[in-house]
Amino acid sequence: MSPTIIALYLINYGWAWTFRAKGDLDLPRDRLSNAVWLGGTTALFFLARFLVKPLPAGVPQDAGDHLVIAAQVMPFALVFSIASIAFFCWPNFSVHVARLTRALRLAPPPDPEYHRALEEALGHCTTT
């Protein structure tokens, strides 16, 4: 993995972290949410890397032109790359994906204490 790609992930993560930390925007995560977060980020990243093709010969060396040509030549690779970075930078995506898998009964139900904390964070408090 190139240092440029690592830097891209870390810069975006640091940028998103400031908003998440100051706004207290993170939802609680359990083991399934963490697995979805890391697995989703990794799967989208490798899918994007698999779809990358060499740029055509004669492409100008300007970075802006590379992005435009990459979007034309390999749009799915670009979409999966952006989705991977978004998934990595905003872990709440994984919480919602984990909730969806549980709603579809593809994953076991959450621990009751975690479920209560998540519902409270989402504003779906129920009094029992």
57-71: pLDDT as tens digits: 776 656 566 667 777
Give mean pLDDT, residues 20-31: 84
pLDDT of residue 1 exceeding 70, the answer is no
Closest CA to 43 of 81, 92, 89: 81
- Is 9 or 32 the better-scoring residue by pLDDT? 32
- What is the model's pTM? 0.73
Contacts of residue 125, defined as CB under 8 A and 6 or more positions apart, other chains included, come to 119
DSSP for 29-53?
--HHHHHHHHHHHHHHHHHHHHH--
Q: How confident is the model at residue 126 (pLDDT cuts 50, 70, 90)?
A: low
Q: How confident is the model at residue 72 (pLDDT cuts 50, 70, 90)?
A: confident
Say how far apart CA 32 and CA 99 lie, in whole Å.
Answer: 9
Question: Position of tokens 């009964």?
Answer: 105
- Is 26 or 98 the better-scoring residue by pLDDT? 98
